[in-house]
Structure 1
Amino acid sequence: MHEEGITAAMRYKEIIGMAGRAAADLRSWEQNRAEELTAQIAAATAGVAAAVEREERTKQTANRWWRMAEDNVSRLSWLEVAEGPSPSPTARGDWLDRYSDGVRPVYNELVQAVLQLGWRARR
């Protein structure tokens, strides 16, 4: 017998019990963490899907504005229209609304500039 009446067998059982609780606690923590990570992955996947959809809508909108601008200057023989818009690798996604909101006023300026040209400049 050891101190205070604790035998080796009792100490062994105590250690085995603690190891079992530790294993159960670890299993529980791992399961909770797996659920958290699964939820984070699902949220990230949904975010990527939303971003892809928003990007596609933005491309379509940009191309629509470009075609309208191109149509407005198509009768100007002295103006050569460049290739259509393409995504900018340096554009900030969180500024998309600012970029989009800036297109309409610039387009309107283009239309006004074309309308103000004299008839000779329009050929």
Structure 2
Amino acid sequence: MKLDEEGGVDPGELLGGVVLEGENGSRIEESTTFLDTFLLALAQGLVAVAGGGRESVDIFDEPSPLLFDRVSDKVTIEYKGVSVLFSYDEIAHDLIDSYRCLTEYIGFSGNVPTYVELNEAVAFLSKRL
């Protein structure tokens, strides 16, 4: 994740880029997106497939959803026709760590008060790991 800091950082509009690189060498890359809504969709998808199964999660302000398919300890995430394979625990840890780094960087310890749903999803994933 790379935060766009041009013009300053506004916690209400965190623009930046996201790259998800999986075990199979494939990459999901979105160069400019709202980081909070992308992270929220990623977290909601991981929560939805925590026990296995498939789920589609819309990303606010993006035309394509994230598609999740979990089998055993692996999860495939698809976005705009690109599928990437991850260890479920590793992608969940990476999401949690990325969110913690982001919140600390923008000056909030642990979570951003206006991101209630994202905070809840990250807390759920943290408890499961």
Relative to the length of structure 1, the TM-score reads 0.26
* Structure whose alpha-carbon radius of gyration is higher: 1
Greater helix content: 1
Structure scoring higher RCO (CA < 8 A, sep ≥ 6) equals 1
Higher normalized strand content (fraction of residues): 2
